[in-house]
Amino acid sequence: MVESLKKSGSDELRPGVKIPAQETLLTPRFYTTDFDEMARMDISCNEDELRAILEEFRTDYNRHHFVRDAEFEQSWDHIDGKTRKLFIEFLERSCTAEFSGFLLYKEMGRRLKNKSPILAECFTLMSRDEARHAGFLNKAMSDFNMSLDLGFLTKSRNYTFFKPKFIFYATYLSEKIGYWRYITIYRHLEKHPEDRIYPIFRWFENWCQDENRHGDFFDAVMRAQPQMLNDWKARLWCRFFLLSVFATMYLNDIQRHDFYAAIGLDARDYDKYVIKKTNETAGRVFPVILNVESPKFYDCLEVCVKNNEKLTTITNSNTPKFLQTFKKLPLYTSNAWQLLKLYLMKPINVSLVTGAIG
Ligand SMILES: [Fe+2]
Ligand SMILES: [Fe+2]
């Protein structure tokens, strides 16, 4: 249905309700997992810390935070053209990512309820936060005469299955990178209020603290399962997830550099800072982190950026589909080769630099 509507030239599912962006390797994903395996996890070796985090979630610091104020009540038609398109896309991607967290955490809360009560309540309270975040973003979309039908999104998206330990690596990183993304934008706009073209960014300071707490929760869960962190497989998987999260963000954001320029940020500088900080943070729990300070790291990613630009040009050309595939193949191969080189780059062993990372 999405395809046929797209072909008719409409971007709307119903008037004012946007068709969700097409899924690609780079769009936010929806996850599901083995809930029984998760319920069987013994968390007793880190139960005190998990209980303390649960208390923080119960306190609900942001209970009254997500309330729109008068600044929203004006026309936003002056944000127009390409900036408007990119702005709506930013809101949509953020809303989809937040909503995907909501669905996953809510389901975990439900499935673990009678089996692992501490984890279950933590998940339910995190889903409360994500629902607020998604709702606030969706309301912002309505300022641009758009919204997402979250019910439609729930049913229409594909769900990626990950075993619990992979869910923990991935969600830990997405929460922490979310924290660094929001706080970096917030601090930049605090210094440059003239670049704050829309009020939502004023909410990011308290908002990102939710993400930080969620990340700390996954940190504590992984510490409760030391086998997730201390063998050779864990080291390989941590490298894999760090690279996937960093490369996906970099390729996405560089493609949308005009959005960041609209709020006075250089997409490359912004991403490099967010990657550096997230990598450092991950060093508190992961046994290895990536050597993102090496110039080779960004050289490889830049080759992928160039390849992606060429791929987009081919897709948008009038070349017949089968010829397109032939033209795209070497570019895909080159991307895979760059990512493999990045994966094989010597990582930083955290145990050797404890104290330097914080
Ligand atoms: Fe969130
Ligand atoms: Fe979160």
* Ligand 1 geometric centre to CA of 79 (Å): 25
Q: Considering the domain boundaries, does residue 198 fall inside one? A: yes
Distance 175 CA to ligand 2 centre (A): 5
Q: Is residue 326 part of a domain?
A: no
Chain-centre distance for alpha carbon 299? 23
pLDDT of residue 152: 81
Q: Is residue 154 included in any domain, yes or no?
A: yes
69 CA to middle of ligand 2, Å?
A: 23
DSSP letter at 149 equals: -
With a cut of 50, say whether residue 2 has pLDDT above it: no
Give 133 Cα–ligand 1 centroid separation in angstroms: 5
Query: Domain range for residue 111?
Result: 26-67+75-225
Q: How far is the CA of 300 from the centre of ligand 2 (A)?
A: 30
Going 209 to 94 to 178 to 264, the CA torsion angle's sign is: negative
How many domains are contained in the chain?
Answer: 1
* Confidence bin at 25 (pLDDT 50/70/90): low
Domain annotation covers residue 265:
no
User: Between these two residues, 105 and 357, which has the higher pLDDT value?
Assistant: 105
The number of the ligand nearest the C-alpha atom of 207 reads: 1
**What mean pLDDT value characterizes the chain?**
90
Q: Report the alpha-carbon distance of residue 42 to residue 118 in Å, rounded.
A: 11
In a domain, 304, yes or no: no
- Residue 29 in this model has a pLDDT that exceeds 90: no
Ligand 1 center from residue 334 Cα (angstroms):
34
Residue-level pLDDT at 27 = 67
Q: Over 60: is that where the pLDDT of 1 sits?
A: no
Distance 245 CA to ligand 2 centre (A): 15
pLDDT tens string 121-176: 999 999 999 999 999 999 999 999 888 888 888 887 788 899 999 999 999 999 99
Is the per-residue pLDDT at 111 higher than 90?
yes
Task: Name 35's Cβ contacts closer than 8 Å, sequence gap at least 6.
Answer: 107, 108, 111, 112
- Which residue is it, tokens 């673990």? 112
Ligand 1 centroid, distance to 248 Cα (angstroms): 18
| Residue 23 pLDDT | 61
Q: Count of CB atoms within 10 A of residue 157's CB?
A: 18
The pLDDT tens digits for 80-98 are 899 999 999 999 999 999 9
pLDDT tens, residue by residue, 172-204: 999 999 999 999 999 999 999 999 999 999 999
Distance 183 CA to ligand 1 centre (A): 13
Q: pLDDT by residue (tens digit) across 221-250?
A: 999 999 999 999 999 999 999 999 999 999
Is the pLDDT confidence value at 18 over 90? no
What is the pTM for the complete model shown? 0.90
Q: How far does residue 322's CA lie from ligand 1's centre (Å)?
A: 41
Q: Is the pLDDT of residue 357 over 50?
A: no
Please check whether residue 31 is in contact with residue 162, taking contact to mean a CB–CB distance below 8 angstroms.
yes
Distance from residue 99's CA to the centre of ligand 2 (Å): 10
In a domain, 335, yes or no: no
pLDDT exceeding 90 applies to what percent of the chain?
A: 80
Instruction: Give a yes or no: residue 161 inside a domain.
Output: yes
Q: Tell me the residues surrounding ligand 2 (ion) with CB < 5 Å.
A: 175, 211, 214
The reported pLDDT for the residue numbered 153 is 80
**Is residue 92 in some structural domain?**
yes
DSSP string of 276-316, one letter each residue: HHHHHHHTTTSSEE--TTSHHHHHHHHHHHHHHHHHHHHHT
Distance 218 CA to ligand 1 centre (A): 14
Q: What pLDDT is stored for residue 353 in this prediction?
A: 47
